[in-house]
Amino acid sequence: MTLAAATAAVAAADPHGFLSPTGVEIAFLLVGLVTLGAALVTVTTRQLVHAALWLVVALGGLAVEYLLLTAEFIAWVQVLIYVGSVVVLLLFGLMLTKAPIGRSPDADSGNRWAALTVAVAAAVALVWVVVDAFRTTWIDLNGPAAGTTEVTGASLFRHWVLPFEALSVLLLAALVGAIVLSRKDKADAAAAPVPGKEGAR
């Protein structure tokens, strides 16, 4: 069998390619573009509340991308943890600190070009690592779900136990540090003299 015949046989066995995408692949591309646009608006807007709301759109787009890749467990974790917890925490922080609702001139640090350089370098490195690692890997989007709870749990606790436990210890250390810092602030506030009482003496 010649090379041309082998190529034709492979093309006949797998009719879908870059030039003939399926509906799922088109939806994946469109959702990816929306997610990228929302992420760009998140980091460029000067309104903090708008940035948090656009972050919801970006994280929700990532969840949809996971669903299209048949990883529904990761998609729901994305929604519950990031959209349901992290963004809500950011909004509560904005409300408790009485952040301005409109435009905030303090939201721009002046290091825009340095931040853009770092962001582009990180994006290029990430894309290169992902492409190099999964160059010949194809996901069957029409097959059974590949990211179920059973599959993800087996992979996590079989091959990624040590990083998972290290992350748990890191989060515990951050929690203990937050408690220590908050107690120290309360102790300093209690030990500070009251101006009215000093004047009365």
Q: pLDDT tens digit string along 21-74?
A: 788 888 999 999 999 999 999 888 878 788 888 999 999 999 999 988 888 888
Q: Which of the pair, 3 or 73, is modelled with greater confidence?
A: 73
Give the CB-side neighbour count of residue 139, counting CA atoms within 13 A.
Answer: 16
Residue pLDDT, tens place only, 97-131: 666 666 666 666 677 788 889 989 998 999 999 88
Q: d(Cα 46, Cα 104) in Å, to the nearest integer? A: 6
CB 56 within 8 A of CB 78: no
Question: pTM of this prediction?
Answer: 0.61
Contacts of 79 (CB under 8 A, 6+ apart): 59, 60, 63
The residue-averaged pLDDT of 167-182 equals: 82
Residue 4 has pLDDT above 50, yes or no: no
pLDDT on residue 58: 93
Identity at 156, one-letter amino acid code: L
Residue pLDDT, tens place only, 141-157: 666 666 677 777 787 77
Q: d(Cα 92, Cα 94) in Å, to the nearest integer? A: 5
pLDDT on residue 198: 53
Q: Which of the pair, 172 or 201, is modelled with greater confidence?
A: 172
